[in-house]
Amino acid sequence: MILSKQHLILNSKNSQLLSFLYKRRSAMSTSGVNKIFENSLKLPSLPVPTLTQTIDKYIKTVTPFLTESELKNTSRLLNEFSSAGGLGEKLQKLLVERAQNRENWLEEWWLNTSYLEYRDPVVIFSSPGLVFPFEEFKYEIDRLKYTAKLILAAVQYYLNIWNDKLPVDKMGKDPLDMNQYKKIFGTCRIPKPHRDTLEFNPNSKHIIIVKNNNYYRLDVLNETGDTPSLHELINQLTVIAEDSVDSSSPIGVLTADNRDNWSRAYEELIKDPTNEASVREIQNSLFLVALDKPMPVENDSRRSMASKQFIHGGGSKGNSANRWFDKTVQFIIGEDGTVGLTYEHSPSEGQPIAAMTDFLIDHIRNANASNLQATLKTAPKKLHFNINDAIQRYIQTANANIDKLASNLDMDSFQFTSFGKEFVKSQKLSPDSFIQIAMQYAFYRIHKTPGAHYESAATRKYIHGRTETIRSCSIESIAFSKTMLDSNKSVHDKITALREAIQSHKKYSIEAVNGFGVDRHLLGLKLIALENNVQLPELFEDKAYKLSGRMRISTSQVATKCDGFMCYAPLTPDGYGCCYNPRPCDINFGVSAFADHPDTSAKRFREALEDSLRDMRDVLVAGQPAKL
């Protein structure tokens, strides 16, 4: 592994530097390593759709939300905007110029506006949880053994990334950009007023273990690539477990607070050199491992409880302080065998994290298959913090805030076992679109109104690509929902409406993964106007824009082979979060809502979704010719 000792801060000015650094690393390699990242840099640039492409699509996506006269008004605004010599033409020209001068015209804007400038806490508002297959730990030593295996598997994965041993992800035949993988380990978000930054420390050799709010540094690599043996790691984890019986000050809860609060607390915290040194150890580490205490007792299923543990940790009486939420990856190991992770979303999408998860699960189950040079002797170093009165007050505020957030998250995560994607494929339909349309139907049958619906589509066919929005609520999805709920409609009518809704969704998905959705282009037009002090087009004030962008159903497919699933909170106070993992014969769902909203309930959505999926299967089966 050939890495230069770099400590890189990514902000809006130097995101280009990052890709330069990657190129440089590749160029430094004598054995042709890091080819996958070099190849990623050869991918095409994200296209800028034409105004006509976006506007034609946009008008269709807003139609379900508008009355006839509102639709007429929106059409008029869009005509004005896109007419020859109009504001749209001017902004489009500026956007195309920007795209000509960058590898990816959206990358820096997206990172800043969606993540680093966003001031709400990363907990609930941004960071997902990922629940691994459950384990059973009878004794503490079982948990420590599992943790040691997990650590070694993660170190192996880190080495695979940097030694060019990852298979290149593909969409069909197209290779995908692999750069997000490089940001999984060694990355940390740093709180700053107005806009946070990201720091990358890919040469790091240590990890952090946290238990009862006590943080320990543990070396897991040396310069020659040696790692501790499994036995050595278990011994050191035992030392940590015995040393951390008493709880320390809940300093980690500060990272769960609003970013402006946290940035002020951070300034105060690092004034003290001991604190600063401890914080740096955490920030520079490869990843963090949290050994949790039991979660506060609730009446939830194990999957829902695990979702809460990995999204927010259970509040100040639970494990919310036993974290450092700015760290990209924190593995979490509960006493009862609930295992998983939480990740800070800004450097990576869920799919690379899911691919890593499958590797870890395989590796843990075959721990003997490791090819690490397991000869490193290691010993934990406890990190110390001095807490003054000002920090104490910040902690109190952060405790109160996380308690409010945690108690307001309603989860109903479940495994749908009636069928999986193989059944849908057997009907010659896209499984992803089938599930999306089931969510549309579920929302409609509960609320009797169209639900604006966000699905992430990966745009990693393009250099540094992240996502585009698939607007899953369509004229066809609403027509389908109404048809299903109409007892006068025949099976044939229902099947026709179902296939039309699914095909319309699939068409949008294909356009979105190719960079031709509407949301990123509209965002680009808006931001280029702001950057150039050009008056904001009226369409951004229009009801159509507001209603169709108020995503009451926030969804993404995050696929793992193992029995895991990702989960996160809704995007709107009256909305749902619904992340899913379609597997051959079942589908895992992480469903969320906010407890304080009278119109929504995770349980109700789960029930409606299960009913919708089964209803859809039943009409398809009913429409099949009977076998003789």
> In whole angstroms, how large is the CA radius of gyration of the chain?
25
127 binds ligand COA (CB under 6 A): no
Residue pair 331/158 in contact by the 8 Å Cβ criterion: no
Residue closest to 22 by CA, chosen among 177, 198, 166 = 177
Q: What Cα–Cα distance (Å) separates residue 241 from each residue in 213, 232, 236, 244?
A: 12, 14, 9, 5
* Nearer to ligand COA among residue 179 and residue 456 (C-beta): 456
- One of 429, 591, 593, 613 touching ligand COA (CB under 6 A): 429
Residue closest to 559 by CA, chosen among 410, 458, 441, 446 = 458
624 CB burial (10 A radius; 0-12, 13-18, 19+): exposed
236 binds ligand COA (CB under 6 A): no
- Max intra-chain CA distance, the chain: 81
Instruction: Indicate the pairing of strand 288-291 with strand 206-211.
Output: parallel
Q: What Cα–Cα distance (Å) separates residue 166 from each residue in 33, 159, 186, 488, 571?
A: 11, 10, 18, 54, 33
- One of 54, 342, 509, 612 touching ligand COA (CB under 6 A): 509
Show contacts with ligand COA in window 188-227 (CB under 6 A).
Answer: none
- One of 244, 456, 481, 514 touching ligand COA (CB under 6 A): 456
The single residue listed with the structure tokens 């999984």 is 184
Choices 137-145, 431-439, 440-448, 537-545 (CB under 6 A): range interacting with ligand COA: 431-439
User: Smallest gap, in angstroms, from Cβ of residue 238 to ligand COA?
Assistant: 36
CA distance linking residue 269 with residue 102, whole number of Å:
38
Task: Measure CA 625 to chain center.
Answer: 42
Residue pair 217/381 in contact by the 8 Å Cβ criterion: yes
Residue closest to 428 by CA, chosen among 508, 513, 506 = 506
* Nearer to ligand COA among residue 424 and residue 539 (C-beta): 424
Q: Count of CB atoms within 10 A of residue 397's CB? A: 15
- One of 431, 450, 465, 524 touching ligand COA (CB under 6 A): 431
* Nearer to ligand COA among residue 394 and residue 580 (C-beta): 580
* Nearer to ligand COA among residue 5 and residue 428 (C-beta): 428
User: Smallest gap, in angstroms, from Cβ of residue 515 to ligand COA?
Assistant: 12
Choices 82-90, 137-145, 343-351, 570-578 (CB under 6 A): range interacting with ligand COA: 343-351
CA distance linking residue 278 with residue 281, whole number of Å:
5
Show contacts with ligand COA in window 537-576 (CB under 6 A).
Answer: 556-558
* Nearer to ligand COA among residue 171 and residue 400 (C-beta): 171
User: Smallest gap, in angstroms, from Cβ of residue 170 to ligand COA?
Assistant: 10
425 binds ligand COA (CB under 6 A): yes
User: Smallest gap, in angstroms, from Cβ of residue 566 to ligand COA?
Assistant: 7
Q: Count interface residues toward ligand COA (CB under 6 A).
A: 20
User: Smallest gap, in angstroms, from Cβ of residue 556 to ligand COA?
Assistant: 4
* Nearer to ligand COA among residue 180 and residue 255 (C-beta): 180
Residue closest to 201 by CA, chosen among 34, 329, 110 = 329
352 binds ligand COA (CB under 6 A): no
Q: Which two tokens stand for residue 82?
A: 């896109």
CA distance linking residue 601 with residue 606, whole number of Å:
9
Q: At what angle do helices 519-531 and 87-100 cross, to 10 degrees?
A: 90
Show contacts with ligand COA in window 162-191 (CB under 6 A).
Answer: 171
500 binds ligand COA (CB under 6 A): no
Residue 32's contacts (CB-CB under 8 Å, 6 or more residues apart) are: 164
CA distance linking residue 607 with residue 587, whole number of Å:
14
* Nearer to ligand COA among residue 196 and residue 349 (C-beta): 349
102 CB burial (10 A radius; 0-12, 13-18, 19+): middle
Residue closest to 590 by CA, chosen among 409, 336, 407, 346 = 409
Choices 48-56, 262-270, 429-437, 475-483 (CB under 6 A): range interacting with ligand COA: 429-437
User: Smallest gap, in angstroms, from Cβ of residue 469 to ligand COA?
Assistant: 10
- One of 432, 511, 610, 615 touching ligand COA (CB under 6 A): 432
User: Smallest gap, in angstroms, from Cβ of residue 74 to ligand COA?
Assistant: 27
* Nearer to ligand COA among residue 201 and residue 514 (C-beta): 514
Question: Is residue 384 annotated as part of the catalytic site, yes or no?
Answer: no
Show contacts with ligand COA in window 460-499 (CB under 6 A).
Answer: 467
* Nearer to ligand COA among residue 146 and residue 568 (C-beta): 568
Residue 271's contacts (CB-CB under 8 Å, 6 or more residues apart) are: none
Of 345, 453, 464, 505, the catalytic one is: 345
334 binds ligand COA (CB under 6 A): no
User: Smallest gap, in angstroms, from Cβ of residue 351 to ligand COA?
Assistant: 5
Annotated catalytic residues are 345
Binding site residues, ligand COA, CB under 6 A: 171, 349-351, 425, 428-433, 456-458, 467, 509, 513, 556-558
